[in-house]
Structure 1
Amino acid sequence: MHDDFVQSRSRLLHRAPRWLDAQRIRAYAAFVLLVNIGYFSLRIWLGAIDPVPNVSPPGWDFAVFWSASWLALHGPAVNAFDTALIEPIALPLQNMLPSAFVTPWTYPPTFLLVMLPAALLPFQVSCVAYLLAGTAFAFKACARILPPVRDLSWWLPVVAFPAIWVTVGAGQNSFLTFALMGLGLVCLERRPWLAGILFGLLAIKPQLGLMIPVALVFGRNWRAFISAALSVGVFCALSGFVLGFGTFARFAEALPAFSQFVVQYSDRWPRGILTVFGTARHFGVAVPTAYLLHAIMAALAASAVAWLWATRASFELRASALVLATLLVPTYLMPYDLLLLGLPILWLVRDGTRNGWIRGDAVAMVSAWLSPVVSYTPGGWAAGAYVPFIVFALLLVVMRRYVVQRAVSANTCACMVEAEEHSSTVSRL
């Protein structure tokens, strides 16, 4: 009887595939790390040392943040939303010439408040300080997820994750959003009020917080939900008092204009928009149909989150589903946003180490780990069109693991009941 259960479990869950053992993982990661360093060095050379027009040096997106900070410090904060004012400051820092692809500030006042001190330092110094602080915060989240290991080489796949280098190259806020999401989920069970505060701080990039209320409501995490709502309210109020509440009105005006700009160029966006909407537009689908296809994918992703959180799946699977749905729901996503993929990959590694693997898991996880390299491709080749399918495949991996683990658990309970009945019968005899 026990042997039957073990055999049924072995048919469902396996060891990690041989092509992904520890030694090979380190070798693959080392190779990808060299590619990352090579591309990063090339951007430094062509963007700063021997500049070529329209080749941006590392920190090209931080140039927008720094420029918005400078405008807010030297005049009304609403000036940050004026493209005519921000481009003359940002474009020289980006080594870019004026083009149809504008450089606007489209972030909410909450993020402008966070970035307000940036221009107190020279651009290069401020950029380095910002990235070091964000990287430390993100690695703190990784350390809370990964089990303690003595062999530091296990950190090699983390350091080699291409999204880290894409984020550093852009000077983006993805390290901050990664840490807020990761640490918020880590704290959820034991410190729900702190988790809610961390989730509330994601108001710096609201589109990445759309799935959090769904998860908290269906998971019945009411204290975290209340804490998150209060944190958002306090954060917005503080931003209004410091920057002026007129910044919220300007932000509301800037959003439709930027959305229209994205739609206008969505069929020829450099390297693609990494969403179902962007994929559909890349292949020539009309805008209304592209929105419909995206809405279907978003509904599927949200349903997966609701199901896994309502049925109290294991923490690793619930957290992974939430992050993956966060990447599938917005219509606009860039390669640096894929840093969030590191969270479900880490949690699935932990879950697989504990519960075993299913065939196909490793392929989906490695594909997701490699997917940010779309940022290295030529601008005319929209390799990002395939990224949403990789993210959705990883979500399917999470759901399949839950179904299999529930089946294994049910078999375990059935075997235990049958064994107890058998033992009782024998004792009576």
Structure 2
Amino acid sequence: MLERVLLVAVAAGLSVAWLLTYDASPSGEADFNVFYQAALHWREPYAPESTVGLPAWMQNGRSPFAYPPTFLLLALPFTLLPYFTAYVVWAVGSFALFVLAASFLNLRAAWLLALSPFALLLAIGFGAPVTYQPLLYGLMTGQTAFWTGAGLIGAGLLLEKRPAWAGALLAIVACLKPTAALVAPLILWGRWRGLTAAVLTGLGLVLASLALGPHLWLEWIAAARAFKGGVLQLQPAAVFDHVLWQVALVALGGWFAWRERNLAGLLVGGVLCAPYLMPYDLAALTALGVSRIGRQPQHWALAAFGAALVVGLVGNAVSVLIGCVAVVLWFGLTELRRTGDGQGRAVGDRA
């Protein structure tokens, strides 16, 4: 318990120290500014008027905000604070929560996660190449990945013993960023308490968001269709621009999620199915992979992928595809070996 408190304190302290020197002013490029401006203009967050406080390069006649109205329920309280204070609270709070969740996967690995962004910053300062390591990129942009990552990890940890809580967490993640929980129904299917909790939690959040204006849901659909992401997209679907390739990836990701029905299935399957993926979206997968370093042979591919992610070696869609396919194949090969040896799948082997 005390070590976890120290871990969270160190993660928060290092984050604050760095953010105080980082240019995250309203004229900067932090993605958090998009969330902040949308929440300030919550009556019309998808209208061009919501870009007034954004940098000039973002003011192109449409709002870059493409999150569902339920996301505003999280963002609105931060508008009570001045921009920079809100940015620091958002980034530090979400990062500390993410590190805390990861500590329940593997406490020692969580220390690596907490320190890695700042070690990379030092390395970059001494001339190392710029890296798009998921945790560092998430801190720099003030993105949602730590909120959703903490929710995904928490859901994975609670699936077996507390399925209702797991379902509720997955619903919250989906209401913040739907693409982060694409395979959640496959994970929850058959865990009826979890599925029921997810449906009820999701409906509750949707109903709460109606207080902001029912029209926002129609506007969100239009905004999501018109959204064009950044140039650094890592989804495996970007490797080949063909519908058959995308269908094959969805089939593979869905099959793996259904077969594993655990945190590995949720994260790896979700990445394979993702229509849009940025480096910070791999934060939870980084945590899971790093937590499996030194574990059973079944997890070697996952551990190797996590190690590559945490040191910033994964920077394009091809490398993400290779990592995910390697995990799927390795899980399958080790399961075949167990079956051939007459062994069942051990409960402790489930990632």
1:85 has 2:49 as partner? yes
Per mean C-alpha deviation after superposition, the further-off stretch among 339-348 and 294-303 is 339-348
- Provide closer, same or farther for how the CA distance between residues 101 and 405 of structure 1 changes in structure 2, counting only shifts above 3 A: farther
C-alpha change, 1:411 and 1:142, in structure 2 (3 Å) is closer
- 2:199 aligned partner, one-letter code: A
Question: What is the Cα deviation at residue 270 of structure 1?
Answer: 2.4
Greater fraction of residues in helix: 1
| Structure 1 residue identity aligned to 2:203 | G
Counterpart in 2 of 1:214? 186
1:44 aligned to which of 22, 42, 49: 22
Cα 1:411/1:323, change in 2 over 3 Å: closer
**2:320 aligned partner:** 387
Change (3 A) 1:188 1:402: same
2:176 corresponds in structure 1 to: 204
Question: Within the alignment, does 1:68 sit opposite 2:38 as a pair?
Answer: yes
Check if 1:332 corresponds to 2:297.
no
Residues 1:178 and 2:149 aligned together: yes
1:368 Cα shift?
3.7
C-alpha distance in 2 between matches for 1:359 and 1:125: 41
Match of 1:124 in 2: 84
Q: Deviations over 1:306-325 (max 9, x none)?
A: 1233xxxxxxxx32122111
How many residues are matched?
Answer: 314
Residue in 2 aligned with 1:421?
A: none
Task: Using the TM superposition, give the Cα deviation of residue 229 of structure 1 relative to its aligned residue in structure 2, in angstroms.
Answer: 0.9
d(CA) in 1 for partners of 2:83, 2:331: 42
Determine which structure has more spread, i.e. the larger CA radius of gyration.
Answer: 1
Deviations 1:93-129 (A, max 9, x none): xxx5357696511000110111012221111000001
Question: TM-score, normalization: structure 2?
Answer: 0.79
Secondary structure of 2:343's match?
helix
Q: Normalising by the residue count of structure 1, what TM-score does the alignment of the two structures yield?
A: 0.65
SS at match of 2:67: coil
CA distance in 1, matches of 2:164, 2:84: 37
Q: Distance in 1 between matches of 2:147 and 2:300?
A: 34
Residue 5 of structure 2 aligns with which residue? Answer: none
What is the distance in 2 between the residues matched to 1:102 and 1:370?
36
The two structures, once aligned, show a CA RMSD in angstroms of 3.2
Q: Structure 1, residues 332-375: CA drift from partner, whole Å, max 9, x if none?
A: 111111112124314533xx52x34687665444334345763x
Q: In structure 2, what is the equivalent of residue 255 of structure 1?
A: 224
Residue 298 to residue 357, structure 1, CA distance change in 2 (3 Å): closer
1:303 deviates by 0.8
Equivalence for 1:227: 197
Alignment partner for residue 253 of structure 2, among 288, 291, 301?
Answer: 301
Distance in 2 (CA, whole Å) between partners of 1:327 and 1:68 is: 27
C-alpha distance in 1, partners of 2:152/2:168?
Answer: 11
Deviation at 1:44, TM superposition (A): 3.4
Relative to structure 1, the CA distance from residue 102 to residue 341 in structure 2 (aligned partners, 3 Å threshold; closer, same or farther) is farther
What is the CA–CA distance in structure 2 between the aligned matches of 1:302 and 1:385, rounded to whole Å?
19
Aligned partner of residue 161 in structure 2, secondary structure = coil
Change (3 A) 1:270 1:385: farther
Structure 1 position 198, deviation (Å): 0.9
* Identity among equivalent pairs (%): 23
How far the C-alpha of 1:331 sits from its partner, in A, is 1.1
1:406, distance to aligned residue in structure 2 (A): 4.2
Cα deviation, residue 394, structure 1:
2.6
**Match of 1:168?**
139
The answer to whether the aligner puts 1:270 opposite 2:231 as a matched pair is yes
Unaligned runs of 5+ in 1: 1-36, 263-268, 310-317, 375-382, 413-429
Preserved contact between residue 145 and residue 346 of structure 1 (Cα < 8 Å): no
